Amino acid sequence: MAGRKGPDLTAGPIGKTLIAFALPVLGSNILQSMNMTANMFWVSRVLGETGVTATNNASQVFFMMQGAAFGVTMAANILIGQAIGAKNEALARKVIGTATTFFVALSLAIGVLGGILTPHILAAMGTPPAARIDAIAYLRVIFAAMPFVFFFNYLMMAQRGTGDSRTPFYFALLQVGLDIVFNPLLLMGLGPFPKMGIAGSAASTLISQGITLALMMIHLYRQRSILMLRPSAWSLLIPDLKIIWTMVSKGTPMAIQMMVISLAAVTMLSFVNRYGVHTSAAYGAASQLWTYVQMPAMALGAAVSSMAAQNVGAGKMDRVERVAIVGALYAVLFTGLPILVLQAIDPIVLQAFLRSTSPSLPIAVHINNIALWSFIPFGVAFILSGIVRATGAVWPPLLAMVISLWAVRIPVAKVLEPHLGADAIWLAFPVGSLTTLLLAGGYYFWNGWGGWRRSRMLDMTPSADAPDTGLGQPMAAESEAITDEEQRELGLATNA
């Protein structure tokens, strides 16, 4: 099928397709975590605490920028997915052209402005003076890499919108591998490479992202991907203001949601820090495990969003419902199993971060006994919110997150703390997660006027005289019957 290498997410067995799509996404997430760990390892060994402090401060700015861009890239992903599902290649290419111009312009502007304002940004953050010079050097190179980082992330998300999650994984593997190799070489000046100090760590990101992005674009062009516009279609790079408005208006709530989560995490950490270094270290060790426990649900959430977007575009809302059921059951299974394993060997695993004789170790075990199970309802809520967002209904998931974090989790911790001490903080996690599930589930099952099932990003209907584009068969009716194979899958998932 010309121009499209990913599977058709609007047909075939849901469970098998969902797992096949989610595994490369999970692999990409794990690779990014490993990359950050490896970079921090080299910086800490070569430059010590000052280098770690500088890197952490600069990285906070970098992650904030990525979080802000995440919403718009996700909106572009959903738009492309809905257009692909609707077999409307003309609209898909129009979205791709506008998104390409938008992300190039946005990333260049952020890169230039960020480089100029770097000292002021770090001063506003209160970066310790001893680490500020290194932080400035690091962050300025990171801002220079921002155009490559933003456009790389956009292309990865866009490929998932077309139904292809494997190609982004392969290039993420290449990017992380290059970054890990270049980091010590540029940091310490090994062999023919210049000794750049902390700027070398950031330069490795710039070089690895630049090389990988170039190779990815060459690969997509040679594969005749719909994401790479040929010279004859360069007129589509002229931005469509309606599409830009849709990406920004739909992407902003998703970006705000990322910030809401980050600010809530910082607030909870401030509560923890009041109990001293042992409790703080225990919480830090426990949260390291939480990062990996959440990954399967996050990968499944990305998969169901892409699958749902294509099926929404195809008008197969009954299949969207089945994607939600299978995705939610898989979230319970693939979040619950790691939790069971961790609960069985908790002290052993935590010793990767804490000494066996550390007073923090039993505290960390206690924290996990209370809070670890909260990621099961959170994972299911993440799936349901991903389904809802795939239609373009982006404000209700944001509202649910704001309520569960800022009206429930944080107040519960604050109100119960005088009575329960630190346990109030750990109990606030399952209470907040259950609230998120109740709100997300309530909105998902609500089918009243203005519900998410009636929401759409844009009009996806192809014109009546549009030629066959090779994107697939004509749009199926919404009342598509469930197949015997899908019935068996639903039964197996329910039993699981």
The CB density around residue 134, as the number of other CB atoms within 10 Å, is 24
Q: What percent of the chain has pLDDT over 90?
A: 40
Helices 484-495, 317-350: inter-axial angle, 10-degree rounding: 30
Q: Is residue 181 scored above 70 in pLDDT? A: yes
Give the C-alpha distances (Å, rounded to integers) separating 223 from 49, 168, 245, 339, 400.
46, 14, 30, 41, 41
Contacts of 147 (CB under 8 A, 6+ apart): 104, 107, 108, 111
Using only C-alpha atoms, the chain has a radius of gyration, in whole angstroms, of 23
Joined together, the tokens standing for residue 205 give: 């990101």
Q: Is residue 334 scored above 80 in pLDDT? A: yes
Q: Is residue 470 scored above 50 in pLDDT? A: no
Give the C-alpha distances (Å, rounded to integers) separating 377 from 116, 287, 297, 411, 430.
44, 17, 10, 20, 8
Say how far apart CA 433 and CA 376 lie, in whole Å.
8
Contacts of 47 (CB under 8 A, 6+ apart): 54, 134, 187, 197, 198
Helix (H) or strand (E) holding 229: none
Q: Is residue 474 scored above 50 in pLDDT? A: no
Joined together, the tokens standing for residue 438 give: 């109740």
Please compute the mean of the pLDDT values over residues 412-417 and round it to a whole number: 94
Cβ(314)–Cβ(11) under 8 Å? no
Per-residue confidence at 450, pLDDT binned at 50, 70, 90? low
Task: Say which residue, 126 or 437, is predicted with more confidence.
Answer: 437
The CB density around residue 411, as the number of other CB atoms within 10 Å, is 14
| DSSP conformation letters of 68-99 | HHHHHHHHHHHHHHHHHHTT-HHHHHHHHHHH
pLDDT in tens, 317-330: 999 999 999 999 99
Please compute the mean of the pLDDT values over residues 264-279 and round it to a whole number: 83
pLDDT in tens, 130-159: 777 888 888 888 888 888 888 898 999 899
What value does the mean pLDDT of the chain take?
84
Cβ(240)–Cβ(94) under 8 Å? yes
Check residue 63 and give its pLDDT: 73
Contacts of 416 (CB under 8 A, 6+ apart): 423, 424, 427, 428
Q: Is residue 482 scored above 60 in pLDDT? A: no
Joined together, the tokens standing for residue 302 give: 């990305």
CA 356 to chain CA centroid, nearest Å:
34
Per-residue confidence at 490, pLDDT binned at 50, 70, 90? very low
Cβ(78)–Cβ(389) under 8 Å? yes
Per-residue confidence at 421, pLDDT binned at 50, 70, 90? very high
Nearest to 263 by CA among 419, 111, 459, 67: 67
Check residue 29 and give its pLDDT: 85
Q: What residue type is 80 in one-letter code?
A: I
Check residue 494 and give its pLDDT: 41
The CB density around residue 196, as the number of other CB atoms within 10 Å, is 18
Say how far apart CA 326 and CA 330 lie, in whole Å.
6
pLDDT in tens, 185-226: 998 988 888 888 888 888 998 999 999 999 999 999 999 999
Cβ neighbourhood burial of 190 (10 Å; 0-12, 13-18, 19+) = exposed
Joined together, the tokens standing for residue 104 give: 């190039």
Check residue 332 and give its pLDDT: 96
Q: Which of 267-281, 348-362, 411-425 has the largest mean confidence?
A: 411-425
Angle at the Cα of 9 (from 12 to 226), degrees rounded to 5?
A: 135
pLDDT in tens, 36-76: 777 777 777 777 767 766 776 677 677 777 777 788 888 89
Q: Is residue 395 scored above 50 in pLDDT? A: yes
CA 340 to chain CA centroid, nearest Å:
25
Q: What is the DSSP letter of 496?
A: -
Cβ(178)–Cβ(185) under 8 Å? no
Per-residue confidence at 495, pLDDT binned at 50, 70, 90? very low
Check residue 345 and give its pLDDT: 87
Check residue 471 and give its pLDDT: 41
Check residue 23 and give its pLDDT: 92
Check residue 481 and give its pLDDT: 42
Token pair 């197969």 is found at 316
Please compute the mean of the pLDDT values over residues 285-293 and round it to a whole number: 84
In angstroms, the first-to-last Cα distance of the chain is 36
Say how far apart CA 54 and CA 62 lie, in whole Å.
12
Nearest to 96 by CA among 82, 112, 111, 109: 82
Joined together, the tokens standing for residue 86 give: 């609707």
Joined together, the tokens standing for residue 474 give: 């004509």
Q: Is residue 347 scored above 60 in pLDDT? A: yes
Task: Say which residue, 142 or 97, is predicted with more confidence.
Answer: 97
Per-residue confidence at 379, pLDDT binned at 50, 70, 90? very high
